[in-house]
Structure 1
């Protein structure tokens, strides 16, 4: 009897731990961990993709370029960062992102219902979606680079003012700005993403919803913590690939060159963005912004400093002339009186 009870208890514990697809996530089951939620059947056609290697390289290079631009102070209105880390692709985070998309529940995804904790750290979620119509013969709609550029654009629509970077406050951060502050969160080192097509058929065309989920770790957007430390880059080990970013030995070893010269598929999709000059990258990022993008290089700042000095000098001369004019008028009146 005792043996049978022990066996039943053991089987119950095993069954409990395997309630999640992977037993290592069972301890997070009560937090609605995504690996412990069983994917339902979808009422529409759903395609969840593991990103191809060229998309992983393209995505990680675009994100690191964005962080580099911010860290080196090349974005007007935002101070440079002294401690921003270089991002490394993480397969575990990518697997969790794919699992979330397979849940076929946009409401839960958009309301941050799922937990993505891993043993190494807590995880933050960023989600972006494009909806519209497209022809089966022409799928040029919301590709991977479009999602990453969308994150950067949100720096310029006043969703999160630079003055709040020193002390993060969720009340100042609208839903659509979360990705921007995650992009800038200095201590984040890992990212993994998944991409989904969902198609809804009607009589004439297919309605298309494309979703990208990126998971970042260690988690960002922590209340009262700085998004990043202000100051010129000050790293124990600075990246040789992305100026201004701090890098670990592990990140350097895992870094893979984009593939501009030896990967035709990569060049086809990302060549115009990542394989040409930095100016072309900046122009692509600034496309459709409410004002023309200018790269804030040392030369740019020097020209603005010169303009400011000249304006000050001219203003000083004008003010002196006006002052002298009124003083002279006053003296003449006193003399006449």
Structure 2
């Protein structure tokens, strides 16, 4: 029997934004794109495999997600990756319940596909990273799968360049760099994630699959900088984070909707 889970713990968060308001997705090329939250049931999709299951993230899981993101953001911001300049202002990433609610809705689809729009009243250009971890044995262990997925996203730095950072390209020439650049986006200071697991037999082999969906307060925008290069943390107005000294303190305020023309 299909496991149906209703997201109740954070459902009230969704009431902050009218997801069916067409204006919320008008930054997209086609303003008729549906918002993931419009009419959402908060249940597993009917197309999910019969063993589909929503995994509620604990405080420990959320801590892992934030630690992995901020460790990697600190590394790039400190100029520790060859070929990349340090960041003069990269904020510490924090958890956002509304983004987590929307990311959960994506994960409940069990289809490993980006949704068309996930913007909120606060975040006009919300971003998204997706990952799956699969095994022919048992389901991947959640804490390890979270760490591995985020590190895999970051590993795209190997095929990225400083030019991609300075002005995100319209055409990446087939390079998959969007996950890395999302992780180190200097103005993406908030994140929320959701997880489902299910058996995917579409290839003829039964893979025990862990799906992670993370939504961010800012996406990668064409012709905009991923982060501002310069002396590490030199533009942080509130000092730096003692745990991540290349990142601005948790009190730093940024505009996730900022556009430079």
TM range (shorter): 0.7 to 0.9
Larger Rg: 1
For normalisation by structure 1, the TM-score amounts to: 0.60
Higher helix share: 1
**What are the equivalent positions in structure 2 for 1:137-148 lying under 5 Å apart?**
139-140=140-141, 143-148=145-150
Contact kept in structure 1, 2:73 and 2:90, CA below 8 Å = yes
Q: How many residue pairs were aligned?
A: 221
CA contact (8 A) 1:170 1:221 kept: no
- 1:211 aligns with 211
Note if 1:195 corresponds to 2:201.
no
Please give the residue correspondences for 1:1-337 in structure 2 after superposition, counting only pairs within 5 Å: 22=15, 24-28=18-22, 30-38=32-40, 40-44=45-49, 45-106=51-112, 109=113, 112-122=114-124, 123-135=126-138, 139-140=140-141, 143-156=145-158, 158=159, 160-172=160-172, 174=174, 176-200=176-200, 206-217=206-217, 219-232=218-231, 233-234=233-234, 235-237=236-238, 238-249=240-251
Q: What root-mean-square deviation, in Å, do the aligned CA atoms of Structure 1 and Structure 2 show? A: 2.7
DSSP 3-state at the match of 2:21: helix
Displaced runs of 4+ in structure 1, greater than 6 A? none
Structure number with greater CO (CA < 8 Å, separation at least 6) is 2
Gaps of 5+ in 1: 1-20, 252-337
Do the aligned residues in 1 keep the contact of 2:195 with 2:213 (CA within 8 Å)? yes
- Going from structure 1 to structure 2, the CA distance change for 1:200 and 1:127 (only over 3 Å counts) comes to closer
How many Å separate the matches in 2 of 1:248 and 1:201? 43
Could you tell me how far 1:131 is from its partner in structure 2? 2.9
State the alpha-carbon separation in 1 of the partners of residues 105 and 115 from structure 2: 13
Note the C-alpha offset of 1:105: 3.3
Q: Once the 2 structures are TM-superposed, how far is the Cα of residue 170 of structure 1 from its aligned partner?
A: 3.0
Structure 2 counterpart SS, 1:195: strand
Within 2, Cα distance between the matches of 1:231 and 1:82?
A: 5
